[in-house]
Every structure is written in structure tokens, then in C-alpha cells.
Amino acid sequence: MISILLLIIFLSGICVLGILSIIDLKTYLLPNPWVATFAALGFAFHFINGFEALPLEQVAYGALAGFWTLYIIRALGNWYYKQDSLGLGDVKLLGAGGIWLGVNGVFMAITAGAFAGLIHGIIYAVYIAIKNKKSINMHRLRIPAGPGFAAGIIGVSIWQYYDLLQETVQNLF
């Protein structure tokens, strides 16, 4: 029973990240209720697993590390660009990602997510250039950061919990 619940929670977390990515791509917003749902699913994932995959203190430290790292990056970006450079939804998303991944995992997710966002930005800039029949212009390109961070969180969580998920699936059959 616990195996099925653990798998359902994990897959639900991935679905919520997908929903958040779609919303962010359309509106440039990450709604608090969806981010809170993702955070609650992360806590439930560890609670159901008895905090074996990640101890409670790592869950808490991961949330703080994800939130404050992105908050500081946001503050520096806002100061440099004199406008919002990163939304608070992205900051909260990485705080929730830290609940799932812990300190080391959330830093890997931030890195992977930033790289995914870079690739997304390059592809989007090329698309706009082709569409408008102009040269590629990366100056002040505006893309949502949430989908990149969601991809980073998904990738790192699959890598981090691969053995647990594999064992869970095997126990089902």
C-alpha cells in the first residue's frame, strides 16, 4: 500500500510541475496554490517514506537553500537590471523543490534548470528570428524561468530517487 501511495505522490509531483510549466509559459506566473501543492506533495513523499530517503532536517534545509538562493539571485538581478528579473513564484518553486531534493539536490536542480532555461531561450530566440526574418537577438529576451527549473527538479528527482522508485515499482508486481 505504501509503495503505491509513494509512486502516486511522486507522479503527482511531476504532473503538478507540468501544470506549473504550462501556466508559466502562458501567463509568466506560478500560482501559489499550485506551488504549495507541489511543496505539500514533497513533504508527503518523505513522510510516507518515513524520511528514509531524505531526513527531516535535510528537507527543511533544502527548502531554505532553494528559496534563499533564488531570492538572493532575484534581488541581485533586480538591482542590476532595475526591474523584476525573476519572479517570486520561481523563488517559491525552488523552495518547494528543496523539500523534495534536500540541499545538494536543489543546487543541482537550480544548475540543471538554469541550463534548461538557457536552451529554451536559445531555441525561442532562433524561432523569433526565423518568424520575423531578422537576425537572432538575445538582448532582453523574456522567457519564463519556471519550466526550466521544473525540468531541473524532475531530472534531479528521478536521478536522486531512481533506486527507491525502481524498488517501489518492483514491489507492485
Q: What are the angstrom distances between the C-alpha of 124 and each of 25, 63, 119?
A: 12, 31, 9
| Domain range for 40 | 2-172
Model pLDDT, residue 28: 95
Model pLDDT, residue 135: 83
Q: How far apart are CA 73 and CA 93, in angstroms?
A: 14
The three three-digit cell numbers of residue 53, written as one number: 530517503
Model pLDDT, residue 120: 93
Helix, coil or strand: residue 83: coil
The three three-digit cell numbers of residue 151, written as one number: 525540468
Say which residues have a Cβ less than 8 Å from residue 139's Cβ, sequence separation at least 6.
Answer: none
Q: How far apart are CA 103 and CA 169, in angstroms?
A: 26
Model pLDDT, residue 1: 62
Say which residues have a Cβ less than 8 Å from residue 160's Cβ, sequence separation at least 6.
Answer: 53, 101, 105
Say which residues have a Cβ less than 8 Å from residue 162's Cβ, sequence separation at least 6.
Answer: none
Report the interhelical angle of 88-132 vs 32-48 (nearest 10°): 120
Closest C-alpha to 142, from 118, 172, 164, 121:
121
The tens-digit pLDDT sequence of the chain (173 residues) is 678 899 999 999 999 999 999 999 999 999 999 999 999 999 999 999 999 999 999 999 999 999 999 999 999 999 998 888 889 999 999 999 999 999 999 999 999 999 999 999 999 889 988 988 888 877 777 889 999 999 999 999 999 999 999 988 888 77
- Domain tally, the chain: 1
